[in-house]
């Protein structure tokens, strides 16, 4: 089963004391203690970011590891990644991350991983990358469009409520045709795709939401997707 969990923001990166989204990702694996590999490429493999990953995931029922492209621990990147149950991509500069992935062949390996049933997840740059295209601040000031890996059809905007210009610019790019219709997610919200189709939306914050944004008859339509707050009792 092919699964992708795309977070608009949140997880240990933004909510170190609220690991509801990270626990949700782990819960989707059939393994009792899934092997979780962190890809911090977008941050330039920042050591502090890697340390925060281990601090968070060592507290969860999993076997954490990471892959640095600046200090690779193995030459067999394919073998290293394809033995994992979950691959978790961190935030940072989406453009630089994708360029490095293509240079090292990580883009092709991630596609193999997805097809083989390894869960792909991430936030910000680590959520944009799974879609055909999205919005990014990788170029410096302002938001621009960027092409992703195309595992999910359409476009994506993370941090939808976290930065005031995210929503209007996403709308304008779709309205102008520079971006396809797509999905947006607030900080603390995640879109869970199964076999390339949206299965559900979940959140670690009571008011965080996910959205479908489309252009119909020349007009932008935004629909709030029902979002399950993970702290609510079952």
Residue 168 lies in a domain: yes
Residue 183 lies in a domain: yes
Residue 234 lies in a domain: no
Q: Please give the Cα distance from 187 to 200 (Å, whole number).
A: 16
Residue 132 lies in a domain: yes
Q: Where are the beta strands (DSSP E) in the chain?
A: 3-7, 35-39, 63-66, 86-89, 119-123, 131-136, 144-147, 152-157, 182-185, 189-194, 197-203, 210-216, 219-225, 227-229
What pLDDT score does 87 carry? 98
Residue 93 lies in a domain: yes
Query: What's the average model confidence in pLDDT over 12-17?
Result: 94
Residue 82 lies in a domain: yes
Q: What 8-state DSSP symbol labels residue 41?
A: G
Domain that holds residue 68: 3-229
Q: What 8-state DSSP symbol labels residue 25?
A: H
Question: What tens digit of pLDDT does each residue of 182-223 get?
Answer: 999 999 999 999 999 999 999 999 999 999 999 999 899 999
Confidence of residue 233 (pLDDT cuts 50, 70, 90): low
What pLDDT score does 30 carry? 95
Residue 94 lies in a domain: yes
Question: What tens digit of pLDDT does each residue of 131-166 get?
Answer: 999 999 887 777 889 999 999 999 999 999 988 889
Q: Are 159 and 187 in contact (CB under 8 A)?
A: yes
Question: What tens digit of pLDDT does each residue of 68-126 get?
Answer: 999 998 999 999 999 999 999 999 999 999 999 999 999 999 999 999 999 999 999 99
| Best CA proximity match to 155, nearest among 123, 130, 124, 179 | 179
What pLDDT score does 224 carry? 97
Question: What tens digit of pLDDT does each residue of 38-65 get?
Answer: 999 999 999 999 999 999 999 999 999 9
Domain at 150, CATH number: 3.40.50.880
Quote the number of domains for the chain: 1
Residue 21 has pLDDT above 80, yes or no: yes
What pLDDT score does 137 carry? 85
Residue 20 lies in a domain: yes
Q: Which residues are catalytic?
A: 124, 159
């Amino acid at each position: 089963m092919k699964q992708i969990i795309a977070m608009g923001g949140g997880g240990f990166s933004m909510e170190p004391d609220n690991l509801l989204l990270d626990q949700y990702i782990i819960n989707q694996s059939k393994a009792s203690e899934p092997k979780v590999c962190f890809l911090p490429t977008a941050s330039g493999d920042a050591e502090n970011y890697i340390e925060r990953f281990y601090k968070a995931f060592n507290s969860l029922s999993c076997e954490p590891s990471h892959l640095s492209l600046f200090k690779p621990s193995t030459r067999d990147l394919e073998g290293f990644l394809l033995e994992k149950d979950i691959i978790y991509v961190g935030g940072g500069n989406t453009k630089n991350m994708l360029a490095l992935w293509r240079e090292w062949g990580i883009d092709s390996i991630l596609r193999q991983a997805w097809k083989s049933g390894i869960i792909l997840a991430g936030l910000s740059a680590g959520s944009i990358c799974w879609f055909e295209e999205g919005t990014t601040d990788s170029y410096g000031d302002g938001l621009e469009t960027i092409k992703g890996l195309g595992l999910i059809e359409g476009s994506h905007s993370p941090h939808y409520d976290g930065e005031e210009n995210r929503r209007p610019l996403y709308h304008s790019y779709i309205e102008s045709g520079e971006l396809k219709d797509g999905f947006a997610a607030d900080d603390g919200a995640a879109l869970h795709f199964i076999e390339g189709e949206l299965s559900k939306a979940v959140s670690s914050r009571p008011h965080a939401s996910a959205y479908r944004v489309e252009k119909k008859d020349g007009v932008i339509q935004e629909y709030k997707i029902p979002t399950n707050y993970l702290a609510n009792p079952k």
